[in-house]
A and B are shown apart, each in its own frame.
Chain A
Amino acid sequence: MASLRDIRKHIDSVKSIKQITYAMKMVAAARIKRAQGAILASRPFAVEMDRMIADLYCELSEEDLAGTPARELFCERPAGGTLVLVLVTADKGLCGSFNTNLLKASAAWLKEHRGRKIVVVAVGRKGRDFLKRLKGLDLEMAHEMVGIFPKAGYVHAQLLADALLKLYAERPVESVTLLYNEFKSMLTQRIVTDRLLPIKGHLLGCASGAKGKASSDFLFEPCKAELLGSLLPRHIGAQLYRMLLESQAAELAARMNAMESASQNASELIEGLTLKMNKTRQAMITTELNEIVSGSEALGG
């Protein structure tokens, strides 16, 4: 049976663990407010950007588009080319199943596309390390981005967008897929698999009949196709920015929950240990008393 001293030591160590987990929870809780604010603040830009692109896309006819850089981003590439996976994980652990689930999902994705040429782009340390550990797969790490959380900014999204567009332009890439955690609520995250490139034309909200009619009285500078060509990379940047922010908020939420339950578990553990310590102490006192009483009885008797 553990001695009194051992139990006390154990209680102390659990107490300090609890302090740490509690502090981490508070830090995550403070940061998540800012992360949520950033998501909200990024929305108007994305909405306006989408509307502008949809307007432009609808006004351009197929002939106008042909041969422009913008066309490249829309049209489907022939199947069988390289696949690009963008995996967004956290930089740090201690956030419950946030990373584990994501890594499992990415492993499943890789398995599904076994035999294809796959290029990965890793955001976050956990994902990068995981992909580096994988062996026996035809993987190539094209770009990595580590240490950007929890201060991901538009600059990072832009760097990522530049890297992806370069990759898309230079190689026979069939599609670019995003894999990240979406911030659904404070309690749940959802793993999302999303196609970034080629851009889905029908998503731009253009009825097929309306396409190509030069309707409104807008003036453009420079010409429409060129304008669309420079708008699209920014659209991709905005999309990536949203993805980074979602992942960041989801990570903080996951960490907050994980640390909250860790603190709770520590509290329970401390309670149990305290009870055990008191029982042990009581048992010791009882034994001592017994010894004294029986000793004096032996003497007096």
Chain B
Amino acid sequence: MGKKQLLLTIVTPEKTVLTDKPVDFVTIPAFGGEMGVLPGHASFVAQLKEGVMHYRDGVHREIFAVLSGFAEIHHDKVLVLAEAAELSKEVNEERARQAYQKAKETLAIHGADLDLDEANAALRRAAVRLKVAEFRRKHKQ
């Protein structure tokens, strides 16, 4: 291994998505904004919000939908604890679109008597999935 690489691990409660995968570059959707991580990054613990996560190893790029969680960077190891992480090819675009519609409708109809935070979170999650699906379409065709 010529140059330094990051070891990326992504775990969710339901499965381990990646284990110690060597990558060149990772971006994570931290709470305060998107954050890029290169080898040699300072040790860091960050809360994640739902968003899109990229990583690149060599020429290959991959993109994930991450739905809130935590990330820890320590000694060139990146550990992502997410409540859910979906590879772009696992995201079902049709379902995401439906969920997006539904979330929007519930927000529009109820407004007051409904748990607003919950509905907003659902909407954001659906939006992230849609974004990932769109990304995949652009890059595969």
Contacts and interface: CB of A to CB of B under 8 A. Distances in A.
A48 interface: yes
Interface string B4-47: 00000001111110000000000000111000000000111111
Contacts of A183: none
Q: Looking at chain B's contact residues, is the secondary structure mostly helix, strand, loop, or mixed? A: strand
B137 to A, nearest CB: 27
Contacts of A222: 31-32, 47
B43 A219 contact: yes
A88 to B, nearest CB: 17
Interface stretch (A15-23, A39-47, A254-262): A39-47
B52 interface: no
A49 interface: yes
A238 B32 CA distance: 25
Contact of B16 (A44, A217, A227, A230): A44
Contacts of A154: 12-14, 83-84
Interface in A47-64: 48-49, 52, 56
A237 B81 CA distance: 13
Interface string B67-103: 0011010100001010110000000000000000000
B47 A218 contact: no
Nearest to B14: A154
A241 interface: yes
Nearest to B41: A219
A84 B47 CA distance: 30
Given A52-B72, A230-B47, A45 B31 contact: no
B74 to A, nearest CB: 8
Given A217-B43, A222-B31, A231-B70, A42 B14 contact: yes
Contact of A45 (B13, B44, B47): B13
A32 interface: no
Interface of A: 38, 41-42, 44-46, 48-49, 52, 56, 153-154, 157-158, 216-222, 226-227, 230-231, 234, 237-238, 241
Interchain residue pairs A-B with the least CB separation, the first 9: A154-B13, A221-B46, A45-B11, A218-B43, A41-B15, A219-B44, A45-B13, A44-B11, A44-B16
